[in-house]
């Protein structure tokens, strides 16, 4: 077990830089490749000028469905690949199967007759329930089950609940919480704030924190002119507003999803872990949110030069979410050197930390 004061056992910086280059190098390469594929063979029923108008939607839906399958497999103890002993072979199998299943799922939305208007309601809702049960929820509902049952139970629960939501006036669960969940989880701030709580109350509390953060973020965004408080174009059930037509806020959201989990984990929360919670976590969150905003500004200024359109910028800005989560969960990048946050007593958890601190 390593601590924040432990002497390095290996040259950490080269490894960190290597992993960052790997994750975001694959992001750029796959964005180029996927854009080429969906332009040549669209997933949706696009023809003629529609292809250039909607290729980014095919890109995003494919890679998001792919990541959802990858996460589901990972939180189910890698079933059905849990029998593969080689971590490298298993990881490749998980990633490859995720991308195949992602394409099939995206295509099925169209073949079933649902159409493009159903994509984000389905995607937003399946991610919400997977997060509620397995990220903030820590797999509480399938605890102690064998891998096969974990996978099956989670799949049935999420599919059934998604059908119930998308077929009602609620229509979807907006995914605006996603980048904030990532940064709250990767810095450990959410687990710290809800330490010693029991599941599923802990998951409910973390989701409530995220919705309040969304309120603060959209209020600031409204003042900046990139968010409008109006009825959601997807469902009138939601009156919390939507991003403006220039898509700058959407790009900010996508960039945040691409860096808010990967970078904190890969850098092992340096240097913020040297500041005791909650302020170290708050500083880390603020830094990465600001970094996401800066990258958003940079990418938006590249439209017309590097990117042919804002749609192309969106496809590149969002692709990082797949690799920054998928590679880390399947290959353990960033998790292979445990460390303690300043004031933390047990690696990977803040539960019972206050009691252990008193005993020390």
Instruction: Please report, in angstroms and rounded to a whole number, the separation of the first and last CA atoms in the chain.
Output: 18
Which tokens hold the place of 3? 């601590």
| β partners of residue 346 | 349
The reply to whether 98 falls in a domain is yes
The reply to whether 64 falls in a domain is yes
Which tokens hold the place of 114? 């649902």
Task: Provide the residue range defining the domain that includes 250.
Answer: 30-350
CA distance 120 to 10: 43
CA distance 1 to 336: 11
Asked if 296 and 234 touch (Cβ cutoff 8 Å), the reply is no
pTM: 0.94
The reply to whether 25 falls in a domain is no
Give the count of domains, the chain: 1
Helix and strand totals (H; E) in the chain:
13, 2
Q: Taking every pair of C-alpha atoms in the chain, what is the biggest distance, in angstroms?
A: 70
CA distance 206 to 43: 36
Residue-by-residue DSSP string for 191-218: HHHTTTPPTTHHHHHHHHHHHHHHHHHH
The reply to whether 34 falls in a domain is yes
The reply to whether 6 falls in a domain is no
The reply to whether 17 falls in a domain is no
* Among the listed residues 103, 19, 100, the one whose alpha carbon sits nearest the alpha carbon of residue 59: 103
**pLDDT value at residue 7:** 41
For residue 307, the 8-state DSSP code is B
The reply to whether 53 falls in a domain is yes
Buried/exposed code over 112-127 (b: 16+ C-beta within 10 A; e: otherwise): eeeebebbbbbbbbbb
**pLDDT value at residue 243:** 94
* Among the listed residues 334, 171, 312, the one whose alpha carbon sits nearest the alpha carbon of residue 254: 312
CA distance 49 to 86: 46
Mean pLDDT by groups of 10 residues along the chain of 360 residues: 40 86 98 98 97 97 98 98 96 98 98 96 98 97 97 98 96 96 97 97 98 96 94 84 95 98 96 97 98 98 96 97 98 90 93 84
| β partners of residue 307 | 303
The reply to whether 245 falls in a domain is yes
**pLDDT value at residue 360:** 65
* Among the listed residues 237, 209, 19, the one whose alpha carbon sits nearest the alpha carbon of residue 131: 209
């Amino acid at each position: 077990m390593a601590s924040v004061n432990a002497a390095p056992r290996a040259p950490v910086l080269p490894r960190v830089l290597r992993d960052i280059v790997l994750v975001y190098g694959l992001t750029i390469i796959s964005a180029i490749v996927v854009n080429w594929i969906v332009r040549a063979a669209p997933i949706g029923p696009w023809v003629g000028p529609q292809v250039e108008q909607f290729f980014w939607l095919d890109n995003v839906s494919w890679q998001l469905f792919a990541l959802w399958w990858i996460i589901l497999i990972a939180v189910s103890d890698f079933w059905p690949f849990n029998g593969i002993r080689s971590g490298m072979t298993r990881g490749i199998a998980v990633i490859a199967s995720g991308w195949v299943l992602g394409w099939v799922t995206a295509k099925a939305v169209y073949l079933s007759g649902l159409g493009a208007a159903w994509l984000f309601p389905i995607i937003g809702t399946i991610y919400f329930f997977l997060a509620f049960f397995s990220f903030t929820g820590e797999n509480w509902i399938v605890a102690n089950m064998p891998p096969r049952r974990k996978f099956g139970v989670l799949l049935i629960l999420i599919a059934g609940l998604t059908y119930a939501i998308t077929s009602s006036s609620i229509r979807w669960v907006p995914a605006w919480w996603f980048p904030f969940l990532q940064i709250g989880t990767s810095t450990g701030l959410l687990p710290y704030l809800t330490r010693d709580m029991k599941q599923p109350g802990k998951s409910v509390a973390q989701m409530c924190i995220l919705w309040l953060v969304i309120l603060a973020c959209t209020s600031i965004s409204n003042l900046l002119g990139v968010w409008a408080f109006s009825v959601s174009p997807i469902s009138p059930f939601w009156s919390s507003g939507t991003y403006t037509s220039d898509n700058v806020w959407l790009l900010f959201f996508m960039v945040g999803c691409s860096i808010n989990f990967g970078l904190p984990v890969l850098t092992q929360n340096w240097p913020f872990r040297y500041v005791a919670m909650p302020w170290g976590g708050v500083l880390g969150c603020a830094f990465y949110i600001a970094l996401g905003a800066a990258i958003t500004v940079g990418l938006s200024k590249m439209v017309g030069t590097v990117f042919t359109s804002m749609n192309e910028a969106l496809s590149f800005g969002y692709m990082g979410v797949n690799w920054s989560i998928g590679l880390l969960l399947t290959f353990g990048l960033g998790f292979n050197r445990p460390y303690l946050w300043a004031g933390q007593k047990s690696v990977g958890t803040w539960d019972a930390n206050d009691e252990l601190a008193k005993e020390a």
